[in-house]
Amino acid sequence: MTEFSTPVLPLCNGIYGILTALDEKRSSYVKPDQSPVTLADLSVQVFIIDWITRHFPGDYIIAEERSSGATSADLRRFIEDHPSLYPDLTRSPDVVLDDQGRSATGPVWYIDPIDGTKGYLRREQFAVAISRYDSTGEPLLACLYCPNLPFPTLDSAQKGSLFYWETGKKPVQLSLQTPDDVQILPLSPSVSALATSVEKSHGNAPVAQQVANDLGLQVIEMDSQAKYGLLLRGEASAYLRYPTDSVYLEKTWDHAAGAALLRAAGGTVTEVTGDPVVIRRTATLEKPNGVAATLGIDHQSLIQSIRNHT
């Protein structure tokens, strides 16, 4: 790995340590929007933000989770009981959790500490999604750590798969178990599939099935931005998150890392209308148009099929 990317390995190893310590504590709380949040979401976000504020003290931060009276005691207790997992933490966990950085105009980080919380609770796929963009909306760095997605050359998930890219470099895939085994992305296609959400509230399943039929693709249902990882390593050709209504705005942290990685690998990421996905300095995308992505097949064919069925 390059000198600049070296800190990402200890960062992800630290996250793995936190997830391991929480392996038997997967209960969830309910947020005001009725979505689940776990102690893992909060504990991992504290670890990531603390790392960012020490290594990039002038940057802005947009992260999914916020402190809450319902969770602060459990979060504080976990960190107090596991000081070796937070060797550099000097501030209150609630303060770190809500830290939005120091600059409103410089580079910005988008963080989803546990993307696919329901997948995490089911012990299926989830991702730790971290990305850094410049002030104009161009990506600088993207990291997707998928602890339950087996690395291709290993027999089991072990420590999962890490997808990483930084500006000026090629995107790569590696395992925390064997970090010297670095694979340049994209990998050769091995499966013709359309990746879509497990949760029916996250996408229009009938539209996804019709589009898959048009393009001759099987449907793979999976939680989180791990779906972007499937495209990167040739285990899917397309990704579709078609909106279930005309109001919902996709969260920026749900796509910023995956979109940056896929584009760096030569893929295409747009709204389902074919318009560009614009990553702004906000928590949501600009329009309620969902997201469509391809790698290795004609993107316009995907967009046209979507139009034919909507």
Catalytic residues: 41, 117
Sheet holding 238-241, edge to edge: 218-221, 193-196, 238-241, 291-294, 268-270
Helices vs strands, H then E, count in the chain: 9, 14
- Phi, psi (degrees; rounded to nearest 5) at 62: -120, 110
Q: What tokens does 54 get?
A: 């020490």
Q: How far apart are CA 19 and CA 63, in angstroms?
A: 18
Stated length of the chain: 310
Residue 211 DSSP label: H
Look at residue 290 and give its three-state secondary structure. Answer: coil
8 A C-beta contact, residue 220 and residue 236 = yes
- What does 118-143 look like in DSSP terms, one character per residue? HHHHTTS--EEEEEEE-TTS-EEEEE
Q: What are phi and psi of 101, to 5 degrees?
A: 85, -165
